[in-house]
A and B are shown apart, each in its own frame.
Chain A
Amino acid sequence: MVGPTFGDMTQQGVRWTAEQVLALAPDAASRKAGSKLGAAGPWSEAGSSDEGAVWGLCKGSGSKPYQTVIDVADAGGPAYKCSCPSRKFPCKHALGLLLLWAGGDTVVPRAQAPDWAEQWLSGRRQRAGARRTTTGAASGAAPGDPEAARRRAERRAERITAGATELEQRLTDLLRGGLAGAEQAGYGLWDEAAARMVDAQAPGLAARVRELGAVPGSGAGWPVRLLEECALLHLLDQGWLRRDRLPDGLAATVRARVGLAGSPEGPPVRDRWLVLAQYDTADARLTTRRIWLYGTGSGRTALLLSYGAAGRAPELSLPVGLAFDAEVSAYPGAGQLRGALGEWFSAPEPTERRPPGVSPAEATARYGDALRDDPWLDSVPVVLSRVIPTPDGDAWQLADADGDLALPLTPAARSRPRLWRLVALSGGAPVTVFGEVGHRGFTPLTAWPEGEGRAVGVC
């Protein structure tokens, strides 16, 4: 993956943008600290190489400057090394150095890497090369003892079956007594059931059960939403219990929804992928990064997931508005868009290309069609062209500039501060918006102004 195709990585035009760099920061304090170090003052002997390495010495409070080196040419996202004691990852020095590098040639000129940086870089690349050979070899051979693996899978399926059966019992008990009682029961009831599903090794079921607990407190209309979610959970239980009788694609979807992580099995699709959106969601333990890609050749949309433990940003960072040539393999399951990045053939570069868009009416139709393959889908990705962000009482909608229909924004989307970037970008004129459309409404993620202009993240 560190082939000759990365040769133009550090050309002026391909340096990252500041926004791109700041997306790597694990938290707001790091962003700020990194921004402050993104100026020439504390840095010395900074440089970058054609192979995508950036290094520099940063003067800190001690007598010896920190040695910071970054490898931006890694398909798995940039790798960092810094001699500072910070536990943040990347640390403020790495962020500052990348910002400096993003700023232009004068401060971080092309140069030969000094020994201390070169040591780490070459070590990394050797390891990466070795890993690639082994994974290449391993994919042909069966890992471990196939018989033992089969037995493990069987045992897990039995546990999930037991969990699904228990869940069915709980659901029927609940509906026999009535949902009205669920309002008083609160979270306790569901937390306990969710813990049981974790024990049953069905994280997908556990997550759904946990969300049920929040519905009674979610305001007007909660009985409708609770019945919907109970019914879909029931549908998933039943799907699992009768998975033998389902078509292959739907059976794979059920397995994925229950929480049996498959592996990317689809044939690798090589394409020029446009990064449509990147956003993080976090709970106490885990930060999940979602990256939406659009294949300009195949017209396919793919979702990459990347995780970071609490306090760490997920490693993969593909800022909006870049395009790159790479292979993506699909995960199994009908209607599943998740993919895995395979081999890269070019570094991400800024692009003027935009994905083709549809009208609001076509967008909802697309969601309806997708439910055929995966009835548990909350939303599907879609690009809306020529829509105008329009206030509608307390809510907002994206109104078709050339028709009289509109997609309302989800309640969560309309309370985000970044909504205002979308409104500002539009100024009452039509814009192109990428986002997720579903039964809750539309969640805008990225927007392009009318006429020329680069993509702007609005999530």
Chain B
Amino acid sequence: MSGNTTLPKSRDGNFWEELVTVALLGTDRRPVPGLAAGQDAPVALLDAAAVETVRRRAGLRPAPAAARPEPAAEDARPPLPPAAARRLALLLADRPGTGSGGRRGTAPDLMELLPQWLASANARGYAAPSEALPALLDAARGRTDLRPAVLTFAGPRALWLARLNPDWRFALRAAPGGGTGLPDHRDADRARKLWEEGLFTERVALLAAMRAKEPDAARELLESTWATERAEDRLMFLDTLRTRLGAEDEPFLERSLTDRSRNVRATAAELLSALPGSALAARMAARAGSCVAVDHTRSGPVITVEPPHECDAGMERDGVVVKAPAGRGERSWWLGQLVEAAPLGSWSAWLGGRTPEEIVALPVADDWQGELHAAWCRAAVRQRDAGWSKALLGEPSVPQAAGPGAVSLAERAKLLATLGTDERSAWVAGFIAAHGLSEAFQLLGVCTVPWSPALGRAVVDALNIARDAGSYPWSFSGVMGLAERCLDPSEAARLDALTAVPEEVEGASPGAGGYWSEAFQRLVTTLRLRATMWQELSAP
């Protein structure tokens, strides 16, 4: 009997309790109440208990209602089209850990498509179906990378649910844009109260959310308590200024160059150097410029480098780290930092009005090229300078050793990220056409989804070449997986021909043809499924 359900009072309030007591102890030890002469005691007890049981059940009444929960906030977004809602249920049903591991077969990996599906649904501004929220939250609980998209899609009701279920508490911490439990950024009083009294994580979340919406107000809030914050907290707070960094931040950052903490000073200097118009950037430009010049006295123009002889107090104040890591000369270490922090725009004037391409093409005297170009790469990434990035990347078809600067793959990926979408994918397509897929994974990772037609074709052609070369497809499983998620679905038709099992040629790995056919089939199936998914989401 549920403890929460009220039972009717017996005519004799203690009658039932007495029956239970007698039953517990036994009729041999305790008399049955109201036993008639000649009755068998246990039978009389069972008779009476049966009557009481049915009577009690028949008289069941509802319990008093507890305090109703506060209703969830309205979600004004339009509902998903029915087909898209069904698809979501299917994607969510494909939870990891329910199937067998091993070979991937020809069927698409549904869970891998969930991030794209969510991004697309979010881009169209649909509301999540309420009944799907528990499964969405469970999925996000297991995969932190899904959380931002899931929480955006799940909307206010997910946060309402998370307050009722401790399993989903992560949603309250990680809400995107800081929507969760954070005061509205316009509610200055509540924001200030939370800033002054909140826990560290709440304060970071508040600051980050505010910075995204009102960068100046966020910085002012931070300045108001700056002097009293602990050093490690100051570092975290300062980091939030990376979002929407602007010239208005310069005075505060300039002051922070004298901070007690070395890490805070270094971060402030780094942020200032990303502002090409800042006083720090100008100081760095002057220092770097005095170290690098064009020498016209030789047969052709050559860049000469004269690294700084000392790291003076001014340099140190501007964030230059004095002590070089083991194995590096301190003069080249200082040079690298100066060039990295100097605005790239100042080099053209300094080096004879040359374009970035011309500057990068100039020979560098005395083995300084590697050091100088690497510093320019870091500067191009930090200052997000697409012109310099392009110059430093050079032609994609050029073999790496001959390229401008000894630029690693990781650095190339970073440089690519500063380019526009089209330029980026065109460059990677050119790289793959020239060098194949073995080094392309990292570069493909920075390309926009879906891949441009040229890039898609380059990848498919390269896969085709790899197959004809007789290797196994799992040597390319990383690129295959990316292709499943990133190729434009309209490429599916072109790929159909590749799903056939080819004749086994001499010298090929045994059975490779079948596995390739399977891998291409999965690719085509996944692309078709993605096309269907977009259609479903676009349906009125």
Interface, chain A (partner B; CB < 8 A):
17-19, 22, 28-29, 31-33, 35-42, 59, 61, 99, 102-104, 168, 171-181, 221, 223-228, 230-232, 234-235, 360-361, 363-364, 367-369, 371-372, 375, 388, 390-393, 395, 397, 399-401, 403-408, 410-411, 417, 420-421, 423-425, 427-429, 438-441, 449, 456
Q: Which A residues are in CB contact (< 8 Å) with B134?
A: 417, 420-421, 424
Distance between A60 CB and nearest chain B CB, rounded to angstroms: 9
Task: Answer whether A427 and B42 are a contact pair too, CB < 8 Å, given A390-B65, A407-B63.
Answer: no
Q: Check A234–B29 contact: CB distance below 8 A.
A: no
Distance between A419 CB and nearest chain B CB, rounded to angstroms: 9
Within 8 A of A (CB), among B104-160: 105-108, 110, 130-134, 157, 160
Task: Answer whether A227 and B4 are a contact pair too, CB < 8 Å, given A36-B94, A368-B58.
Answer: no
Q: Which B residues are in CB contact (< 8 Å) with A399?
A: 65-66, 68
Q: Which A residues are in CB contact (< 8 Å) with B94?
A: 32, 35-36
Q: Check A39–B529 contact: CB distance below 8 A.
A: yes
Q: Check B41–A17 contact: CB distance below 8 A.
A: no
Q: Which A residues are in CB contact (< 8 Å) with B132?
A: 424
Report the nearest A residue to B7, measured CB to CB: A439
Complex Cα distance, B41 from A177, in Å, reads: 12
Write the B37-48 contact mask toward A (1 if CB under 8 angstroms, else 0): 000111101110
Q: Check A32–B99 contact: CB distance below 8 A.
A: yes
Complex Cα distance, B26 from A168, in Å, reads: 16
Q: B20: which of A103, A223, A427 is its contact (CB, 8 Å)? A: A223
Q: Which A residues are in CB contact (< 8 Å) with B40?
A: 172
Q: Which B residues are in CB contact (< 8 Å) with A390?
A: 65-69
Complex Cα distance, B61 from A363, in Å, reads: 9
Complex Cα distance, B448 from A265, in Å, reads: 68
17 inter-chain pairs at a CB distance below 8 angstroms, sorted by A residue, are A39-B525, A59-B106, A175-B46, A176-B27, A178-B23, A178-B29, A223-B23, A225-B1, A231-B49, A367-B57, A390-B69, A395-B4, A403-B65, A421-B134, A428-B70, A429-B71, A439-B56
Task: Answer whether A41 and B83 are a contact pair too, CB < 8 Å, given A175-B27, A231-B49.
Answer: no
Q: Check B131–A424 contact: CB distance below 8 A.
A: yes
Interface, chain B (partner A; CB < 8 A):
1-5, 19-20, 23-29, 40-43, 45-47, 49-50, 52-54, 56-72, 83, 86, 89-90, 93-95, 98-100, 105-108, 110, 130-134, 157, 160-161, 164-165, 521-522, 524-526, 528-529, 532
Report the nearest A residue to B72, measured CB to CB: A427
Q: Which B residues are in CB contact (< 8 Å) with A35?
A: 90, 93-94, 110
Task: Answer whether A404 and B42 are a contact pair too, CB < 8 Å, given A234-B47, A439-B1.
Answer: no
Q: Check A180–B64 contact: CB distance below 8 A.
A: no
Complex Cα distance, B58 from A294, in Å, reads: 24
Distance between A266 CB and nearest chain B CB, rounded to angstroms: 26
Complex Cα distance, B41 from A360, in Å, reads: 39
Q: Check A364–B50 contact: CB distance below 8 A.
A: no
Task: Answer whether A227 and B524 are a contact pair too, CB < 8 Å, given A32-B93, A179-B24, A364-B60.
Answer: no
Q: A421: which of B50, B131, B521 is its contact (CB, 8 Å)? A: B131
Complex Cα distance, B59 from A367, in Å, reads: 9
Q: B23: which of A31, A103, A179, A404 is its contact (CB, 8 Å)? A: A179
Complex Cα distance, B25 from A99, in Å, reads: 60
Q: Check A42–B53 contact: CB distance below 8 A.
A: no
Q: Check B50–A232 contact: CB distance below 8 A.
A: yes
Q: Which B residues are in CB contact (< 8 Å) with A361?
A: 61-62
Complex Cα distance, B163 from A420, in Å, reads: 12
Distance between B28 CB and nearest chain A CB, rounded to angstroms: 5
Q: Output the residue of B2, B100, B521, B529 with the most chain A CB within 10 A.
A: B2
Q: B26: which of A19, A176, A388, A408 is its contact (CB, 8 Å)? A: A176
User: Which secondary structure dominates where chain A touches chain B?
Assistant: helix
Distance between B489 CB and nearest chain A CB, rounded to angstroms: 12
Complex Cα distance, B3 from A390, in Å, reads: 16
Q: Check A425–B130 contact: CB distance below 8 A.
A: yes
Q: A427: which of B23, B47, B160 is its contact (CB, 8 Å)? A: B160
Q: Which A residues are in CB contact (< 8 Å) with B70?
A: 428
Task: Answer whether A368 and B24 are a contact pair too, CB < 8 Å, given A171-B46, A390-B67.
Answer: no
Complex Cα distance, B60 from A405, in Å, reads: 13
Task: Answer whether A36 and B107 are a contact pair too, CB < 8 Å, given A175-B23, A231-B53, A427-B157.
Answer: yes
Report the nearest B residue to A420, measured CB to CB: B134
Task: Answer whether A36 and B58 are a contact pair too, CB < 8 Å, given A178-B29, A429-B71.
Answer: no
Q: Check B72–A428 contact: CB distance below 8 A.
A: yes
Q: Check A41–B64 contact: CB distance below 8 A.
A: no
Cross-chain pair count, CB within 8 angstroms:
243
Task: Answer whether A172 and B42 are a contact pair too, CB < 8 Å, given A29-B98, A39-B525.
Answer: yes
Task: Answer whether A388 and B69 are a contact pair too, CB < 8 Å, given A40-B525, A423-B164.
Answer: yes
Complex Cα distance, B441 from A216, in Å, reads: 62
Report the nearest A residue to B58, measured CB to CB: A368
Q: Check B66–A397 contact: CB distance below 8 A.
A: yes
Q: A41: which of B54, B65, B108 is its contact (CB, 8 Å)? A: B108
Q: Which B residues are in CB contact (< 8 Å) with A406?
A: 62-66
Q: Can you add 8 more A-B contacts, CB < 8 Å, to A38-B90, A41-B525, A231-B46? A: A18-B89, A31-B93, A31-B98, A59-B106, A223-B23, A390-B69, A400-B65, A421-B131
Distance between B397 CB and nearest chain A CB, rounded to angstroms: 35
Distance between B49 CB and nearest chain A CB, rounded to angstroms: 4
Q: Which A residues are in CB contact (< 8 Å) with B50?
A: 231-232, 234-235, 375
Complex Cα distance, B532 from A254, in Å, reads: 56
Report the nearest A residue to B59, measured CB to CB: A368
Q: Check B61–A364 contact: CB distance below 8 A.
A: yes
Complex Cα distance, B57 from A273, in Å, reads: 30
The 5 residue pairs across chains A and B that have the minimum distance between CB atoms: A41-B525, A178-B26, A428-B71, A36-B107, A231-B49
Q: Check B1–A440 contact: CB distance below 8 A.
A: yes
Q: Check A36–B53 contact: CB distance below 8 A.
A: no
Q: Which A residues are in CB contact (< 8 Å) with B41?
A: 176
Q: Which A residues are in CB contact (< 8 Å) with B45?
A: 175
Q: A408: which of B2, B58, B90, B105 is its contact (CB, 8 Å)? A: B2
Distance between A165 CB and nearest chain B CB, rounded to angstroms: 13
Q: Check A42–B525 contact: CB distance below 8 A.
A: yes
Q: Check B27–A456 contact: CB distance below 8 A.
A: no
Q: Which B residues are in CB contact (< 8 Å) with A102?
A: 86
Q: Check A371–B54 contact: CB distance below 8 A.
A: yes
Complex Cα distance, B57 from A234, in Å, reads: 17
Q: Which A residues are in CB contact (< 8 Å) with B60?
A: 364, 367-368, 439
Distance between A357 CB and nearest chain B CB, rounded to angstroms: 14
Complex Cα distance, B40 from A176, in Å, reads: 10
Distance between B175 CB and nearest chain A CB, rounded to angstroms: 17
Q: Which B residues are in CB contact (< 8 Å) with A104?
A: 83
Distance between A164 CB and nearest chain B CB, rounded to angstroms: 13
Complex Cα distance, B28 from A175, in Å, reads: 8
Q: Which B residues are in CB contact (< 8 Å) with A230?
A: 23, 46, 49
Q: Which B residues are in CB contact (< 8 Å) with A405?
A: 61-65
Q: Check B62–A180 contact: CB distance below 8 A.
A: no
Distance between A50 CB and nearest chain B CB, rounded to angstroms: 22
Q: Which B residues are in CB contact (< 8 Å) with A180?
A: 24-26
Report the nearest B residue to A19, measured CB to CB: B89
Q: A439: which of B2, B27, B524 is its contact (CB, 8 Å)? A: B2
Complex Cα distance, B1 from A221, in Å, reads: 8
Complex Cα distance, B93 from A19, in Å, reads: 10
Distance between A13 CB and nearest chain B CB, rounded to angstroms: 11
Q: Output the residue of A33, A61, A224, A410 with the most chain B CB within 10 A.
A: A224
Report the nearest B residue to A418, measured CB to CB: B134
Q: Check A28–B98 contact: CB distance below 8 A.
A: yes
Q: Check B161–A364 contact: CB distance below 8 A.
A: no
Q: Which B residues are in CB contact (< 8 Å) with A388?
A: 68-69
Report the nearest B residue to A419, measured CB to CB: B134
Q: Which B residues are in CB contact (< 8 Å) with A38?
A: 90
Report the nearest B residue to A449, measured CB to CB: B130
Q: Check B93–A22 contact: CB distance below 8 A.
A: yes
Q: Check A177–B63 contact: CB distance below 8 A.
A: no
Q: Which A residues are in CB contact (< 8 Å) with B100?
A: 29
Distance between B85 CB and nearest chain A CB, rounded to angstroms: 10
Q: Which A residues are in CB contact (< 8 Å) with B20?
A: 223-224, 227
